[in-house]
Amino acid sequence: MPQRNLFLTFHSFRRQKRFWPILFLASCLLPLAACRGRDAGKTPLVVYSTHGKELLTEFETSFERNHTDVDVRWLDMGSQDVLDRVRSEKENPQADVWWGAPSMLFQQAEKEGLLQAYRPSWAGEVGPEAHSAGDFWYGTYETPEVIAYNSAVLKPEEAPQDWDELLDAKWQNKIILRDPLASGTMRTIFCAMILRSYKATGAPEAGYDWLKKLDANTKDYVANLTLLSQKLARQEGILTLWNMPDIELQRAQYNYPLAYIIPKSGTPVVTDGIALVNQAKHADAAKQLYEYVTRKESIVLAAKKFYRIPCRKDIPSQDLPEWIRQTPIQTMPIDWKILEEKSNEWMKYWDSQIRNKGRS
């Protein structure tokens, strides 16, 4: 087994903590792991995902219960990290399924020949905006972005009600954000703020100025959702920007004092997708998993247990939780084509010219 696969292999036994200790332990356990794989005779199905350990563990367990010849091995990471990894592995793919990321990242991957075309059995149940014209990716969930806050510190009426309120000086050192370079969610939010003025001016400068003011109020940029949630719960910061399903899940699973505001002027609603990796080593098993996690029963389970809003339009409303039916969401108009074309340029500028420079 190539050394670069050691981290992924050990991760499947119970997921990442720190890279080098895992790499060391994985190298020690390699002979045992290899024997286990041969003895079991199972197909190792590798999934790159953004959906978090809770949802991934749920579907890993249930899928393996119904497909006893498959060993699901998932790696949870930011959506931009998934794209970068699939891109770097183009000549020797290590993953079979990519599950979870904004549609713009799947569109980039499609253009680069990183995805395998596959038309799922339910393809006719999503709108044209929620899938690739060539069947290279399909939408699974609709994900609204929100302003989240520590509900032990702020009352709902005290939290910012809209994007521009985040720039008020009273929030200085109160905001903690996920590092946007690795996160499709944060990239989408940042680019949406630029797009608000870009259509009228044809230039990103007004959006850059907004991001600089946000940076002035930002205490820290953290590596992942776990750290973000923990820091908010400990009141190291009391505000963040993130997606609604994850905030609901963190509150429900870990009893964190988190709540959210859907910005009154509108919010980006991301189409979250799934795709097969081009030249995947286990394509047949990958298609089985693709169909399994997107079947009606799985979509309803994800809605009820993990707060995911389905893209599929054939799910009876009575099968979905009440909060989906009753939560009003004002969608922000987004030119997704421009966002896809410009996001890398805008984020590079943010990283070099804005990050940690707002206060100066």
Digit-coded pLDDT (tens) for 47-103: 999 999 999 999 999 999 999 999 999 999 999 999 999 999 999 999 999 999 999
- CA-wise closest residue to 210 among 223, 228, 191: 191
Confidence of residue 306 (pLDDT cuts 50, 70, 90): very high
Question: What is the pLDDT, as a whole number, of residue 243?
Answer: 96
User: Which position has the token pair 């020797």?
Assistant: 92
Contact 247, 306 (CB under 8 A): no
Q: Over 90: is that where the pLDDT of 299 sits?
A: yes
Q: What is the rounded distance in angstroms from the CA atom of residue 99 to the CA atom of residue 237?
A: 30
CB atoms within 10 A of CB 235: 12
Angstrom distance (rounded) from CA 246 to CA 226: 10
Taking the model in full, what pTM does it have?
Answer: 0.85
Residue 9: band (very low, low, confident or very high) from pLDDT cuts 50, 70, 90: very low
- 255 CB burial (10 A radius; 0-12, 13-18, 19+): exposed
CA distance 10 to 273: 26
**DSSP label at residue 330:** -
Taking 70 as the threshold, does the pLDDT of residue 5 lie above it?
no
d(CA 120, CA 333): 28
Q: What pLDDT is stored for residue 1 in this prediction? A: 39
Coil, strand or helix: which one is 219?
A: strand
Helix (H, G, I), strand (E, B) or coil at 50: coil
Distance CA(191)–CA(196), nearest Å, equals 9
Average per-residue pLDDT in the chain?
A: 90
Mean pLDDT of 203-216: 98
